[in-house]
């Protein structure tokens, strides 16, 4: 089984850039799609209802073509020039080592303690990326507890063909509308934060064929990273 082997801080910085770019790419595509749709609609209307305008002014059809080609060029720039995450092959990942590396990386605020390390389980994915996801989840829990102190409980479990890492804090919790928007790119309730941590977790989970969910716990919030299990429990 593999364990994280690159400095997590460097990889986390790269993920922040990739994720910020992905949010930018998504938003730009939304704007461009609206312009492209509107232009296409206008072009069809003009062609159907204003043939005389097209006959009198050759610039009209030419500018429709120009708008379409410029939009396509902009889409090409977004697709080809903005940095994208490199593909990573699946490996069998030692979740115990991943959690150990992640917890060693995070400086917990004063008054915040972490529960005993979880049992070892094997997952499919990339050890470095899964460690980054766990770092983000622990960071998120630690920030929720920073004002008051509290406990972060990290557990893992196996459920058929999946393994789960859960990070649960006993802090003040999140309102339901905040929980619903927690994975929106750039959404944060914390001044000075980019609001990308949970997006990064979701992207990593997706790349590993897994999911991440947030739910209200008895106290605080439980984040569960669900990944494909690797063979038998070691």
Partner 1 sequence: MTRTILLVDDSEVIQLTLSALLEDHGHELAVAGSLAEARAFGDRAFDAALVDLNLPDGQGTHLLAELRARWPETVRVLMTGDDKAVAPDADLVLGKGSDPGEIGALLDRMIDERRGGRGA
How many angstroms separate the Cα of 60 from the Cα of each of 32, 57, 69, 111, 168? 20, 6, 14, 68, 60
Q: Which residues contact 72 (CB under 8 A, 6 or more apart)?
A: none
x/- mask, partner 1, residues 187-206, rule CB under 8 A, reads: ----------------x--x
x/- mask, partner 1, residues 68-87, rule CB under 8 A, reads: -------x--xx----xx--
Candidate list 9, 37, 69, 148; residue touching partner 1; CB under 8 A: 37
Q: Which residues contact 86 (CB under 8 A, 6 or more apart)?
A: none
x/- mask, partner 1, residues 124-153, rule CB under 8 A, reads: ------------------------------
- CA proximity to 92, closest of 120, 123, 119: 123
- CA proximity to 201, closest of 2, 16, 28, 53: 16
Nearer to partner 1, 64 or 121 (CB): 64
Candidate list 44, 59, 62, 219; residue touching partner 1; CB under 8 A: 44
- The rounded distance, in Å, linking the Cα atoms of 74 and 233 is 49
What is the spatial order of strands in the sheet that 221-228 belongs to?
112-114, 150-159, 162-169, 221-228, 211-216
CB of residue 201 to partner 1, shortest distance in Å = 14
Contact region with partner 1 (CB under 8 A), list: 52-60, 89-97, 113-121, 182-190? 182-190
User: Binding of partner 1 at residue 175 (CB under 8 A)?
Assistant: no
- Which residues are at the interface with partner 1 (CB under 8 A)? 22, 25-34, 36-38, 40-41, 44, 75, 78-79, 84-85, 177, 180-181, 183-185, 203, 206-207
């Amino acid at each position: 089984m593999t364990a994280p082997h690159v400095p997590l801080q460097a990889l986390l910085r790269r993920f922040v850039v990739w994720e910020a770019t992905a949010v930018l790419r998504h938003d730009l595509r939304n704007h461009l799609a609206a312009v492209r749709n509107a232009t296409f609609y206008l072009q069809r209307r003009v062609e159907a209802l204003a043939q005389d305008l097209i006959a009198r002014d050759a610039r009209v059809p030419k500018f429709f073509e120009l708008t379409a080609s410029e939009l396509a060029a902009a889409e090409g720039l977004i697709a080809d020039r903005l940095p994208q995450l490199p593909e990573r092959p699946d490996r069998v990942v030692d979740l115990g080592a991943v959690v150990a590396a992640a917890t060693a990386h995070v400086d917990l605020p004063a008054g915040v303690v972490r529960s005993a390390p979880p049992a070892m389980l094997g997952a499919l994915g990339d050890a470095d990326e899964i460690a980054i996801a766990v770092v983000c989840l622990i960071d998120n829990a630690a920030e929720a507890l920073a004002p008051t102190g509290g406990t972060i409980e990290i557990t893992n479990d196996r459920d058929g063909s999946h393994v789960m890492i859960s990070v649960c804090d006993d802090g003040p919790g999140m309102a339901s509308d905040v929980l619903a928007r927690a994975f929106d790119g750039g959404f944060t309730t914390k001044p000075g934060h980019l609001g990308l941590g949970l997006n990064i977790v979701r992207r990593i989970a997706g790349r590993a064929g897994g999911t991440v969910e947030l739910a209200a716990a008895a106290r605080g919030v439980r984040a569960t990273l669900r990944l494909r299990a690797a063979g038998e429990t070691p």
